[in-house]
Amino acid sequence: MKKHHWKIEYSITVIVIFAMVMLFIPARFIESKEASHISVWNEIYHKMEYVFSAMNAHADSDIAKGFKNAKSNAARETMMMNMVKPYLRISSQNELHKKYTPLYMNGSKVAAGDEYYFERFYLTSNNRIVGIKEVKNHGIYQPAFRMLFDVNGLSRPNTWGKDIFGMNIFVDGKISPLGAGKSIDELTKDCSETGTGVSCSYYYRIGGDFKE
């Protein structure tokens, strides 16, 4: 009888330990994966700083005239994308036609008409997704374009602040991560499960901690 009770207690102990391990491992795995995404985003941002610095140094009046004379937002977006394609390893055949639906960190979809909605996406040779859009009514102190980077491509979660990050591009060729200029409180609130996650692009650049 005692041996029977021992087997029951042993089985219960094993089940409890197994359950705890199963709860712990996914959390640690997600944490490690998101930390990797943040590291990739920082690498991309450093590269884009160099890219736009180099582009600005070699820009000429013809490029400026081209942007000014473009007849639509789509035309200007295409011009900007054509300029950065060689640096991002995107060919003219790499426009993404597969279903791709970015999400905010709070779980809601990025809807058409939203400030961070992109109509067209491109797939790089290393399977990252890039989006670009013109920002309307921009001045010298406002961004002219906005870029999106999904650091692991079509693989989930396709979520701002987890594997999607972005930056603004200004008319003088300078860039800044989305969320720059916000206070720490604003960044912390937005870069959370109740926020959009867009500001994580800057929050992680300044050493903010990500939360499960």
8/24 Cα distance (integer angstroms): 24
- Residue type for position 119: E
Q: Which residues pair with 170 in a beta bridge?
A: 143
117 DSSP 8-state letter? -
Q: Stretch 56-68: mean pLDDT, rounded?
A: 60
Structure tokens belonging to residue 9: 């207690």
The confidence score (pLDDT) of residue 73 equals 72
The confidence score (pLDDT) of residue 62 equals 53
Within a domain: 163: yes
Domain extent at residue 173: 34-203
Least confident range of 9-18, 35-44, 131-140: 9-18
40 pLDDT more than 50 = yes
Structure tokens belonging to residue 46: 């450093």
pLDDT in tens, 149-200: 999 999 999 999 999 999 999 877 889 999 999 999 999 999 999 999 999 9
**128 contacts 163 by C-beta, under 8 angstroms:** no
56/72 Cα distance (integer angstroms): 22
Residue with tokens 């490029």: 63
The confidence score (pLDDT) of residue 212 equals 44
Domain count along the chain: 1
Alpha carbon distance, N-terminus to C-terminus of the chain: 46
The confidence score (pLDDT) of residue 68 equals 61
Structure tokens belonging to residue 137: 């009514």
Within a domain: 67: yes
The confidence score (pLDDT) of residue 63 equals 56
Identify which of 149, 126, 117, 190 has the alpha carbon closest to the alpha carbon of residue 41.
Answer: 149
59 pLDDT more than 90 = no
The kind and range of the H/E element at 32 are: helix 2-58
164/161 Cα distance (integer angstroms): 6
The confidence score (pLDDT) of residue 130 equals 95
The confidence score (pLDDT) of residue 187 equals 96
Structure tokens belonging to residue 109: 């979809």
Within a domain: 181: yes
The kind and range of the H/E element at 134 are: strand 129-134
The confidence score (pLDDT) of residue 25 equals 40
Give the side-chain half-sphere CA count within 13 A for 123.
14
Within a domain: 172: yes
Within a domain: 140: yes
The confidence score (pLDDT) of residue 66 equals 57
Within a domain: 19: no
Within a domain: 95: yes
Within a domain: 7: no
Least confident range of 41-50, 78-87, 122-131, 181-190: 78-87
11 pLDDT more than 90 = no
